[in-house]
């Protein structure tokens, strides 16, 4: 019985740690953990890999096939590679009062 | 309190880029990391077309997103002093480029390498001026971010000399880009002084900030032509 309880406690702890790591909420340090080079896919690393956001969240107006992320890079993507998102798209979430870290519109400390 | 503001009159600007050249000379320009640029916008439809010139440098925002992300990163390399000037400390900057990613105006520049002004021909005496003889804002390094400082080395001198009233009028205490403009399209000075040329100019020209939707409250105003950019 004791061994069973110990196993359950350890398993629960492992699942919790794995969940935090998967969502990236604890470990998200853009710039330090992720390269900020466009060539390295900085925004994809942060928003798609880290935050698990759908492509359309930033690339609004672009239609993606359900299997888009598993397509070969040589396959016809149907025009779903719109390039770098206009920074105005960032404003939707990153303004003061938005759902993401408020880079815009908040008060800066001196 | 003195708060430095720039106004750029696009109606007067002829796109000569004297301001860009002056900035390069004054601030030890390194290739690939310009502090000042002039963007051309085509306006109208053929045959009724025209060009609008928009000089761009750091907006020295009152709520600078570059500083916010830098602080959140823990680098604390970007500061905004009591005169409203946003500066980068090259010794603290780790070159993460996060400031460049969030700046709505595309201002921070990453200095990849300290390229020679004339590649293959050796460094000029100008480039060989040692760091000890340079203002801290001119002690450039590779792999860090750079940007316009409002010619802080001049403003700092004015403050030290107790001659802030001369800023915007005396070339010694005025940013070089504003000094050299041949058509007086640029004004610089204290917005808190209702009698300053820049304060009067903003009112007379109905000048405004650009990309106000970002809420960064820039300290550079434009008398716009051809619409909002």
Quote the pLDDT of residue A32: 58
Burial of residue A73 (number of CB atoms within 10 Å: 0-12, 13-18, 19+): exposed
Cβ-based contacts of A91 with chain B (< 8 Å): 213-214
pLDDT tens-digit profile, chain A (110 residues): 566 666 666 555 555 444 444 444 445 555 555 566 666 677 888 888 888 888 888 888 777 777 776 766 676 666 666 677 888 889 889 988 888 888 998 665 44
Point out the residue among B63, B74, B96 whose CB comes nearest to the CB of A108: B63
Cβ-based contacts of A37 with chain B (< 8 Å): 97
Quote the pLDDT of residue A23: 44
> For residue B175, what are its two tokens?
């940013």
Test A108 with B104 for CB contact under 8 angstroms: no
Test B68 with A103 for CB contact under 8 angstroms: yes
For A18-32, A89-103, B53-67, B210-224, which range has the lowest pLDDT when averaged over its residues?
A18-32
Q: How much of chain B exceeds pLDDT 70, in percent?
A: 99
Test A30 with B65 for CB contact under 8 angstroms: no
Quote the pLDDT of residue B33: 93
Evaluate whether B144 touches B90 at the Cβ level (below 8 Å).
yes
Instruction: Please indicate if any CB of chain A lies within 8 Å of the CB of B68.
Output: yes
* Alpha-carbon span B171 to B215, nearest angstrom: 32
Domain range annotation of chain A: 1-53, 57-110
Quote the pLDDT of residue A80: 62
Alpha helices per DSSP H over chain B: 18-26, 65-73, 98-102, 152-161, 176-180, 197-205
The pLDDT-based confidence of B78 (bands split at 50, 70, 90) is very high
For A24-38, B113-127, B134-148, which range has the lowest pLDDT when averaged over its residues?
A24-38
The alpha carbon of residue B117 is apart from the nearest alpha carbon of chain A, in Å, by 25
The alpha carbon of residue A12 is apart from the nearest alpha carbon of chain B, in Å, by 31
Evaluate whether B42 touches B35 at the Cβ level (below 8 Å).
no
CA-closest candidate to residue B221, choices B210, B185, B211, B4: B210
Instruction: Give the end-to-end CA distance of chain A in Å, rounded to a whole number.
Output: 58
Q: What was the ipTM of the complex prediction?
A: 0.75
For B61-70, B115-124, B135-144, which range has the lowest pLDDT when averaged over its residues?
B115-124
Q: What are phi and psi of A20, to 5 degrees?
A: -60, -40
Residue B141 has pLDDT above 70, yes or no: yes
Quote the pLDDT of residue A71: 67
The pLDDT-based confidence of B106 (bands split at 50, 70, 90) is very high
pLDDT (mean) for B42-46: 88
Test A104 with B100 for CB contact under 8 angstroms: no
pLDDT (mean) for B81-91: 95
Quote the pLDDT of residue B178: 97
Test B96 with A32 for CB contact under 8 angstroms: yes
Domains and CATH numbers, chain B: 16-186 (3.30.70.20)
């Amino acid at each position: 019985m004791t061994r069973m309880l110990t196993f359950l406690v350890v398993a629960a702890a492992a699942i919790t740690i794995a969940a935090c790591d998967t969502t990236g909420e604890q470990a998200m340090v853009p710039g330090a953990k992720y390269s900020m080079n466009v060539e390295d896919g900085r925004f994809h690393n942060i928003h798609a890999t880290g935050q698990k956001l759908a492509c359309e969240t930033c690339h609004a107006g672009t239609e993606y096939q359900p299997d888009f992320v598993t397509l070969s890079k040589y396959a016809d993507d149907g025009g779903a590679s719109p390039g770098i998102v206009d920074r105005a798209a960032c404003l939707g979430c990153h303004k003061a009062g938005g759902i993401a870290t408020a880079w815009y519109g908040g008060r800066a400390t001196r | 309190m003195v708060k430095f503001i720039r106004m750029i009159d696009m109606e007067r600007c002829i796109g000569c880029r004297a301001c860009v050249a002056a900035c390069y000379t004054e601030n030890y320009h390194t290739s690939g990391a310009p502090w000042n640029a002039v963007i051309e916008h085509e306006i109208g439809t053929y045959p009724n077309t025209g060009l609008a010139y928009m000089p761009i440098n750091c907006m020295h925002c009152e709520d600078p997103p570059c500083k916010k992300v830098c602080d959140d990163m823990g680098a604390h390399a970007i500061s905004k002093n009591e005169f409203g000037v946003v500066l980068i400390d090259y010794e603290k900057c780790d070159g993460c480029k996060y400031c460049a990613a969030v700046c709505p105006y595309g201002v921070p520049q990453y200095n990849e390498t300290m390229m020679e002004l004339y590649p293959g021909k050796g460094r000029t005496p100008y480039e060989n001026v040692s760091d000890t003889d340079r203002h801290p804002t001119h002690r450039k390094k590779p792999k860090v971010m750079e940007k316009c400082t409002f010619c802080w080395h001049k403003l700092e001198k004015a403050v030290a000399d107790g001659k802030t009233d001369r800023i915007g009028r005396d070339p010694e205490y005025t940013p070089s880009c504003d000094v050299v403009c041949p058509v007086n399209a640029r004004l610089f000075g204290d917005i808190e002084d209702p009698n300053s040329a820049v304060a009067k100019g903003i009112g007379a020209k109905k000048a405004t900030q650009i990309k106000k939707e970002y809420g960064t409250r820039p300290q550079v105003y434009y008398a716009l032509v051809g619409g909002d950019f």
